[in-house]
Amino acid sequence: MRIRIVGAGAMGRGIAQWAAVAGHTVELCDVRTEAVTAAVDFVRSMLERAVQKGRMTAGDAAAALERLVPLDDPWAGGPDVELVVEAVREDLDTKAEVFGKLEQALPDSTVFATNTSSLSVTRIAASLKDPGRLAGLHFFNPVPLMKIVEIVPGAATRPEIPPLLTTLVESCGHRAVTVADTPGFLVNHAGRGLVTEALALLEESVADPAGIDRIARDVLGLRMGPFELMDLTGLDVTAAVIDSIWQGFRHEDRLRPSFLTPNRVTAGLHGRKTGQGWFAYGPEAPSPAPEAPVTGDADRPVFVAGGEGDALRSALSTAGATVESGPGPSEAAVVLVPVWGTTAAAAVAALGLPASRTFGVDPLPPAGRRRVLAVTPASDPAAARDARAVLARAADGGEPYAVSVVRDTAGSVAQRLLASVVSVAASIAERSLATPADIDLAVTTGLGYPAGPLAWGDRIGAARLLDLQRALHATTGDQRHRPTRWLTERAQLGLPLTDPGTSPADCA
């Protein structure tokens, strides 16, 4: 296939490298000829590096470079051009102008694709005489490594174009998912579940950014915590995406932005690229403060209360802790309450527990060696230190658990992050914006989560996850936590969250 790529910036040159390596002839052009020269040099350096690392042969690299054709005039005729991929700046008028000129220069048979990450594909196509020839082809940076592409048909896109683009993408070694032309498309939309909930937790002073990131990594198994991720992406970019998706979905509570971000963006606290975000960066940046050491009495008796306590009671007993039995705690014991969508404060009130020495514990099985202890405004600090020491105990002399101390909140940190990730994905499935399989594929490939959000929810179980979300909603009164119909129906019917279910069309 002969492909013309318009725009030789980071995305354009990445797409050019990807397509040329896959065997396609690539015309690379830009209104700035120096950008094309720089892009070709960059692709050459990437291919040379791949040869040095043994990822491709010198012959294959040379052949790929020969297939990369610098083009002086983006609007030149091209009777053999089968596909145009536009990768210019994110501005509707600019993209419309580019496609208007291309429509005059290229044959009617040429398919047009825009790499927009935030603009409406339908609105871009509306500027064309034939809007049916254009679709979204959204790559992620760096293109050769991020092996997922979103194919986005606009409202007028001809039905044969998305399958054609899917075949192209998958023949070049990437995975393709077809998504609706909605704000954020799929990956950026699904990613809001993590960062918006992390910001909400910070708003409530549940934990600081480093503490939330530790729990996200060590309990949920994420490669990066949400605040590390925002610093990597750039808070200016993240905040703009959050706002645009929230506005695009008519102020959906589940996607609500945080009041914390505007001032930080204005102050230039964007993350790695400015040297200071949620964390500091650069050779002179101070190291992150380490976690406070565990200093309490690990031999203090402990009483585990509540209906979620069997697993914790067993684990602490195996680790050699003095775990009390009976109807209530002794005067000497600290009290641990595993909470599922509720608070330790509610357990104190409901069960008549001693407020100064009762603490919440997250019962989610951790991906790493970390447990989470929640303290209330009534907590005695010395009792909290002892509870932390008890929770740090490990069986058979193994490595002690790290124990995060957070403010008591409904569901604790990890439950709220996970519930939000699953809830946003379920709302995408509920609206038929993408299939459950494509949602999970796009998120695991594009965001690097340890599991797709719907499959992750199935690990917990639809019924148990519904209990969590109902408890979060009832405890907080916040509409962001209300269960989706997708989750509620599947819990009631005994179906997995990954099951697309029967539609009326299936029965017609």
> What residues are annotated to the active site?
117, 138, 150, 188
The 8 Å CB, 24+ separation contacts for 48-56 are 56/21
Strand-strand pairing, 134-138 and 370-375: unpaired
Secondary structure of 439-467 in the HEC alphabet? HHHHHHHHHCCCCCHHHHHHHHCHHHHHH
Longest dimension (CA), the chain: 86
For 397, residues 6+ apart whose C-beta sits below 8 A from its C-beta are none
Q: How many angstroms separate the CA atoms of 173 and 153, rounded?
A: 21
**CB count, 10 Å around CB of 284?**
7
**CB count, 10 Å around CB of 31?**
14
**CB count, 10 Å around CB of 35?**
17
Burial readout 424-439 (b: 16 or more C-beta within 10 A, e: otherwise): bbbbbbeeebbbbebb
Burial readout 351-381 (b: 16 or more C-beta within 10 A, e: otherwise): eebbbbbbbbbbbbebeeebbbbbbbeebbe
- The angle subtended at Cα 487 by Cα 163 and Cα 248, nearest 5°, is 60
Strand-strand pairing, 134-138 and 148-153: antiparallel
For 190, residues 6+ apart whose C-beta sits below 8 A from its C-beta are 421, 424, 425, 428, 439, 442, 443, 447, 453
Give the N- to C-terminal CA distance of the chain in Å, as an integer.
40
Q: Tokens 């052009």 correspond to what residue?
A: 29
The 8 Å CB, 24+ separation contacts for 357-362 are 357/329, 357/333, 357/383, 357/387, 358/305, 358/334, 359/334, 359/335, 359/383, 359/384, 359/387, 360/336, 360/408, 360/412, 361/312, 361/336, 361/337, 361/391, 362/219, 362/338, 362/412, 362/413, 362/414, 362/415
- Tell me the CA distances in angstroms from 348 to 145, 333, 353, 379, one per residue in order: 51, 15, 5, 11
